[in-house]
Structures are given as C-alpha cells and as structure tokens.
Structure 1
C-alpha cells in the first residue's frame, strides 16, 4: 500500500480508522479465543473457570467482616457502644481526655 499519495488529512483519517479496526479485532479475537478455550477445556472434562482456578476462588472467597461484639459503652448514652477495634469514637476520646481510664467504660 503506497501511502505517499495520501494527503495529511487522509493519513489522519486512516490512522483513526486503523485504531478503530484494531480495537474491534482485539475484542472479536478475544471472544473467539475464549470460545476456543472453553471448547478445549470441555473436551478434557473441565470448565474454563475450573482450569483458570476461578471456581475455587469463588468457593474460598472471604465473607464480609462481621462487626465485633461491643466491649465499651458510653456512660452518657447506653445506645453508643464500641467494639474496641478501629478508630475510637469521639465519646471515648473525650472520656480519655478528661483523665479517666478507658477500662472504666468496659462492659
């Protein structure tokens, strides 16, 4: 393909068209490869997820963290508690700043 006969705007347009075509082909080729790999895995008696280790990852996925049991209670408001993990609530910081021990708030 002789590009020397093309003008600069035509070359820029060609560049855009090439980039667009490259992206379309990457998507299509990737989809075709996935189908080929799925067929190959199925021929061997596996799913593609099993081969890639995705099935085991789903089974062993960590569960959401559960809030800890309350260990400290605000004496001014019994509804406010703190598990002792993470950032101290303001009422606990105020209690400590007043010179009192955090252990006095322990449930």
Structure 2
C-alpha cells in the first residue's frame, strides 16, 4: 500500500519542482502544458462527436435531425444555427445623420428618444 501512495502524483511535490526552474524552463513547461491542453480538448471534442454519431445511428436518424435541423430544397441546412437569419430591415433613419438607423426592435436609440421628446413622431423617421 505504501508503494501505491508513492506512485500517485502529488501536485504539491510537482509545484516544488517547478519552483526550482528558471524563467526559460518555466516557459517551456507552459508551452508544453498549453499544447497538451489543446490536444486533450480536441480529443474530448472528437470523442463527443463520435458518441453523438453513435447515438444518432442507434436512433436511426442523422445528427442534424436530432439537433432540430432540416434540409431545404436547395440542400441547405435550416434550423437553430446561429447566423441563419438575415439581419433585420432598417425601419427608421435619423433625419440629418443618415448613418444613424434603427430597425424598430429593442430599445429606442438616444437619437430617437430625443426626436420624440422634441415633439417629433416615429413616422417622420420612417424609411420609405
């Protein structure tokens, strides 16, 4: 049982060894750890992909089907993917500063609020 405990990695002993290294050696250790972490993360992602594909196969479906995506006539994927919606159309524009626009969604920009406070209407700012 004592041999088993000696074989176990002890972080405190490892840290003591690291304290003995100079800056260049520590940089080499850091570079190695960063690469090792990246490799392990990529391996974990690949393992997850493999497991997901196995689950889909067992369910008799594709991964896209399980994730809620569907194929369109053009063969494009349509579903929950980020960026799959086109940007909202501009509905309002500042009367003198054309770069200031608003889609009408979300909170009103300060320039719209100011226009309304001065007695203006949203119809005056509407894009034709």
Q: TM-score, normalised by structure 2?
A: 0.42
Q: Flag the structure with larger Rg.
A: 1
Highest relative contact order (Cα 8 Å, sep 6+), 1 or 2?
Answer: 1
